[in-house]
Amino acid sequence: MRRVLIVGFIIWLAASIVLRCAGQYVLQPANPAGVAILLLTSFPLMALVARRICADAAIQREQWSAAGILLVMPSLVLDTFSTIFFPVVYPNMPGEAAGLFGGWILICCAGALFGVSFARR
């Protein structure tokens, strides 16, 4: 399970670096179609990623929900500060993207938790 927490941190760090470098191309609150595509694709994608991480870590299926919590914990905790200090952390994006950022993080975490909640027996 510790491995899943570490993987969650690595995913958070890699995503933060990508957003710091190219987030202005990903988070565009003025583009409703782009926002819809981002949110609608992120939920199922994160569900699949979380399931794959649990399967690859050979975690017993009864423990997938607990592993999912550990997987998203780094993002839920650390992106709280990224959202609060959005203009400092992500100066490459307009301030009005902070709400979209926060919502996107939540839908990604929800997708991951959904994905591990329905493990096939």
In this predicted model, what pLDDT tens digit does every residue of 68-90 receive, in sequence order? 999 999 999 999 999 999 999 99
Under 8 Å between Cβ of 71 and 5 = yes
The Cα–Cα gap between 57 and 59 comes to 5
Count of beta carbons in the 10 Å neighbourhood of residue 111: 21
pLDDT given for residue 103 in this prediction? 97
pLDDT given for residue 118 in this prediction? 80
Under 8 Å between Cβ of 97 and 105 = no
**Tens-place pLDDT, residues 19-34:** 999 999 999 999 999 9
50: tokens are 């979380």
The Cα–Cα gap between 50 and 7 comes to 10
Residue that the structure tokens 């409703």 belong to:
32
**For the whole prediction, is pTM greater than 0.95?**
no
